[in-house]
């Protein structure tokens, strides 16, 4: 009797597959590089979702080592994509009020001009207003300077840019990671340059006057030694005074907890021991308290992954594979939001062939 044998796709050990994930295209254009949603932010108002990203010009990566496949000599645009149906379809926007100041480079890429220079914030902003969102942008990934913008109409128009203080550090490379604590109170987590002016180290700061002034509350973690860094935090409030933040290191993701509203911190582990070469976390708290962390894995199989925790980040599940068909290491930078129906929408930059353009993708899935 002949025995029939079946061959199955081999996923990495200790990996699960998300149940029927749906993959959508947010932005994809011939000759263009869509990148880095984590640098820009993502927001949800019910099924209305908005995500920011950079749209540059594609350049095939033919040089040795790891270099982004973007043409640094040609200007890039800061775009938004909006979905009115929970991430099923998307439309692009380029608000005039979110354009970068003249002649600015962000992370080495020349940004298309049209925006105003950063000024001092007038403060008094009501963070509890419907349609509110906050985003922060930086010039150098090491020393900034940085600026922030505020919207009250679901990201259609923005006020700013306003200058982010340096808090006495060599410089701030700001990205949007914030907690709304009251009408005029917000806690932000920022990456400061290390003492050698390289990236970076995370600090916690707060405003209580609607973003007019900011006070540094604490360093979240020590300055990493050598070539390591601690950058790109993603944070949630566990309860009234307890905060959990996850931080990107060069090879892993660390978690730090404060139980006194950010005054003091203790490391509570590494949710991800290996990110395949460095990728930032996106941390989300679900109703009921379950935590979901998504990230990009930058070694083969190039993939978008998630882990969950039911004990406030003390322990984490095995990897959940959202997709594992990546074509190159230059991908990830996830942001994740929850839809009213309980499904999650994770957005990232990606490609599926070695030397193809990077697109912005979205995966709709259930944890």
16-24+120-365: CATH number: 2.120.10.10
pLDDT of the residue at 106: 82
Lateral strand order in the sheet of 359-365: 22-27, 359-365, 344-350, 332-338
Q: How far apart are CA 77 and CA 36, in angstroms?
A: 12
pLDDT of the residue at 277: 87
- The residue assigned the tokens 């998307």 is 90
pLDDT of the residue at 9: 36
Return all residues near 265 (Cβ < 8 A) that are at least 6 apart.
204, 218, 219, 220, 221, 256, 257, 258
Question: 259-264: long-range contacts (C-beta < 8 A, 24 or more apart)?
Answer: 261/187, 261/217, 262/187, 262/204, 262/206, 262/217, 262/218, 263/217, 263/218, 264/218
- The pTM score is 0.94
Cα angle 206, 115, 79; round to 5: 80
pLDDT of the residue at 64: 56
pLDDT of the residue at 1: 34
- Domain borders along the chain are 16-24+120-365
- Give the tens place of pLDDT for each residue, 225-275: 999 999 999 999 999 999 999 999 999 999 999 999 999 999 999 999 999
pLDDT of the residue at 127: 98
> Which residues in the chain show pLDDT less than 70?
1-19, 62-65
- Give the tens place of pLDDT for each residue, 301-356: 999 999 999 999 999 999 999 999 999 999 999 999 999 999 999 999 999 998 89
């Amino acid at each position: 009797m002949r025995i029939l044998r079946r061959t199955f796709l081999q996923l990495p050990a200790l990996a699960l597959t998300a149940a029927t994930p749906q993959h959508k295209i947010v932005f994809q254009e011939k000759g263009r590089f869509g990148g880095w949603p984590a640098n820009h932010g993502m927001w949800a108002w019910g099924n209305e979702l908005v995500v920011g990203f950079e749209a540059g010009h594609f350049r095939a990566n033919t040089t040795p080592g790891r270099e982004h496949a973007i043409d640094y000599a040609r200007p890039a645009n800061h775009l938004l994509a909006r979905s009115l149906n929970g991430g099923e379809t998307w439309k692009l926007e380029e608000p005039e009020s979110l354009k970068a100041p003249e002649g600015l480079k962000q992370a080495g890429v020349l940004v298309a001009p049209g925006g105003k220079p950063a000024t001092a914030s007038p403060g008094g902003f009501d963070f509890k207003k419907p349609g509110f969102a906050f985003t922060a942008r930086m010039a150098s990934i090491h020393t900034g300077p940085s600026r922030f913008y505020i919207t009250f109409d679901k990201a259609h128009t923005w006020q700013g840019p306003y200058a982010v203080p340096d808090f006495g550090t060599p410089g701030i490379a700001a990205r949007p990671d914030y907690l709304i604590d009251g009408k005029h109170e917000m806690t932000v987590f920022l990456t400061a340059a290390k003492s050698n002016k390289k990236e970076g180290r995370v600090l916690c700061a707060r405003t209580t006057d609607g973003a007019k002034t900011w006070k540094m509350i604490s360093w979240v973690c020590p300055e990493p030694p050598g070539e390591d860094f601690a950058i790109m935090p993603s944070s949630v409030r566990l309860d009234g005074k307890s905060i959990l933040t996850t931080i990107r290191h060069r090879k892993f993701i660390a978690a730090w907890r404060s139980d006194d509203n950010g005054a003091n911190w203790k490391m509570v582990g590494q949710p991800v021991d290996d990110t395949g070469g460095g990728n930032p976390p996106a941390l989300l708290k679900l109703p009921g308290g379950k935590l979901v962390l998504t990230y990009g894995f930058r070694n083969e199989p190039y993939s978008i992954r998630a882990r969950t925790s039911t004990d406030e980040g003390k322990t984490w599940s095995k990897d959940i594979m959202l997709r594992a068909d990546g074509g190159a290491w230059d991908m990830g930078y996830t942001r994740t939001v929850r839809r009213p129906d309980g499904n999650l929408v994770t957005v990232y930059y990606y490609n599926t062939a070695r030397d193809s353009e990077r697109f912005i993708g979205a995966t709709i899935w259930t944890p």
